[in-house]
Copies of this chain bind each other. A is one copy, B any other.
Amino acid sequence: MESDLVGAADNTIHRMAGDERRQQLLEVAMHLFSKHGFSGTTTKRIAEEAGVSEAMVFKHFENKDQLYTDIIDHKACSLGMESPMSVLSDFVEAKNDFGVFYHLALNALNHHRQDTEFIRLLLHSALEGHAMARTFFDSYVTTIYESIGEYIEERQKDGAFREVNPKIVVRAFSGMFIHHSMTNIIWDKDQKLLKVSNERAAKEFATVLLDGIRKKDSSSDEQNSTQVQS
């Protein structure tokens, strides 16, 4: 069907160092798993793509399952788990509402764009019911819901926000940017339907969340509000 080579820039003939090859196998495997899922990816194909015999895969990884979870551990540690809250703390302390939500969204959108493969892998494993997906969700997503939820609660006490269930607000807002990323990653890769920069998207999403789309002051000025620049 397809032929997607990836790590075959091998002029320096064979014989990599062990760790190097292991790393390469992880990358090749991730690429394939993210494209075809777990059961859609064969160990033979992984080996081929890495330019190595199938036996090598099993020298470096106990079995296919182990390889899969190793990829996830590896990636989850290096990229996924760096708390998204750390970047926001300044804005949270300053109670800069727009800053908080803008950077939350922008940060996520940038991550998703640069780590498409991991997102696809995550989705595959979630659909297939792999245990790791649950782990990721429990430790990562729950954290965000709590942190952002707390911020919203605080701002409600300040009288700055309406009284809505904070979790619903988090769901609504994360829905905006996560669904935006998902659409671009799995449905509309060439962004025929909607093409915007991450900055623009984050800005509009944050503005909608905070102010909605309905004009509030129908009395005074008719149209100025937010200006749109493409």
Contact = CB atoms under 8 A, between A and B. Distances in A.
Interface string A42-85: 00000000000000000000000000000000000000000000
> In terms of DSSP, what is the predominant structure of the interface of chain A?
helix
Nearest to A197: B230
A163 B230 CA distance: 13
A214 interface: yes
Interface string A205-230: 10111111111101010111111101
A169 interface: yes
A164 interface: yes
Nearest to A199: B230
Q: How many copies does the complex hold?
A: 2
- A-B CB proximity, top 6 nearest: A175-B179, A199-B230, A212-B212, A98-B226, A39-B40, A211-B212
B214 A211 contact: yes
A162 interface: yes
Interface string A160-179: 11111101110110111111
Interface of A: 35-40, 94-99, 102, 120, 123-124, 126-129, 133, 137, 141-142, 145, 152, 159-165, 167-169, 171-172, 174-180, 182-183, 186-188, 193-194, 196-197, 199-201, 203-205, 207-216, 218, 220, 222-228, 230
A171 B186 contact: no
